[in-house]
Structure 1
């Protein structure tokens, strides 16, 4: 192979390497940007999932016709545990450490901002018997 052919081959290889490096860097930047977007979206989805399950209250009805609500939960596990415990108390006297104990007759879940507002303002939110 003559010297000029070898020089052209080396020159072409260097140009190819340069183009490949530029494309690689561009793809790496795009990939990094997409990974950041993906992580942000996954975080947002996680927050929304928590809000979907978290925005709920528990309505408790008593034998005397009164109604009470459980509204303060730290997370979905706390909510589920509270609901489970309340269900176990149905038919039993609760609040025995107070001056006015009552028999719990019914409990249900009101889920979603609109339904909670309807329930708290008008007493007619959509009730779910099971989680």
Structure 2
């Protein structure tokens, strides 16, 4: 299998075009989210995992998953500059219409004053730089 070459300028243009001209009523969400899955956690609580690697999804519709299960590989699909996972909680399975929900994490680190500090059972803000 030949590895696809990436070009930063092409990726930047594609991301700009997709982000600024996406119309959820006529465009396919995959041009933004790439390979993605939606996991239902509870009534009106869904998680979206986006930009997954092509052909890496290991779950099927209706399958039960739990914390720690392997569901797929982080990728570079859709509107993406580099391999990463876009994760969001939302109130609907329709990613084009859903509202975001806050997400608490059991444990993570936050970058404050040049240092990584451990946080337990916290909800990061949209300005926090965090890592697992």
- TM normalised by structure 2 equals 0.25
Q: Normalized per residue, which structure has more helix?
A: 1
Q: Normalized per residue, which structure has more strand?
A: 2
Higher-Rg structure is 1
